[in-house]
Amino acid sequence: MCARLLSAAVLGCALLAFGCSSPTTPTLTPLPITNPPATPAPVKPTLSFVAEPALLPNSFTVSANTTIAGELTVTINASGFLAVSRVSKVRGTLLYDPAVLTPDQFYLPGAWLNQDGALTTFEISIQSPGHLVIRIDRPDSLLGVTGSGAIVGQRFTVNAGVRNRTTPLQWTDTNAYTSGFNDLLRHAYGGTITIQ
């Protein structure tokens, strides 16, 4: 019995001499967290617009606000309707390239046909791609309007991926009627939009 105790003591001393110790749980070092690089936002295209010059009175013209990248608001205007030419109804179809532009569902009523507090009715629709159909009526109980001013505005967005393209804005089926449907319109001028 004494011999066994002595052997255990000797073994213990030998283990201590060699630096032996009881096993311990290893410490885990967490890997650094790296975030992926942020994806840059796509650059929206810039736009410019050149209008056809209005050379005749009693005409429609087009203007465009292109200050917001990737968007534009196209405004249909009355130009130079003479005092004897009182317009109560506007009809027309604005043609554009549907591969380049898409119209929003909202329009902006202009002030020209709303003079005198008239409750003017506006109908703006897309009856087929590339055809913005405009139908606006003042009440027949009120006199028509003269002079110049904004008729209606329509916002468009540039289709995704479109660059270095142009699209004309042209008219078809245009009329500026009196309340008795006498057409006073002499010409409808368009323009060209450039996307870069």
d(CA 118, CA 3): 121
pLDDT tens for residues 103-154? 998 899 999 999 988 999 999 999 899 999 999 999 999 999 999 999 999 9
Q: Which of the four CATH numbers 3.40.50.12160, 2.40.37.10, 2.60.40.680, 3.90.950.20 does domain 47-193 have?
A: 2.60.40.680
Tell me what percent of the chain is helix, strand and coil, each rounded to the nearest 5: 10, 45, 45
Rounded Cα gap, residues 106 and 70, in angstroms: 17
What residue spans define the domains of the chain? 47-193
User: Which of 152, 177, 172 is closest to 87 using CA atoms?
Assistant: 177
Task: Give residue 26's pLDDT.
Answer: 65
- The whole-number pLDDT of residue 15 equals 39
pLDDT > 80? residue 41: no
Q: pLDDT of 152-170, one tens digit each?
A: 999 999 999 999 999 999 9
> Counting every residue, how long is the chain?
196
* CA 184 distance to own-chain centroid: 34
Kindly state the helix (H) or strand (E) to which residue 121 belongs, with its residue range: strand 121-128
For the whole model, what pTM was predicted? 0.75
Give me the chain's average pLDDT, please.
85
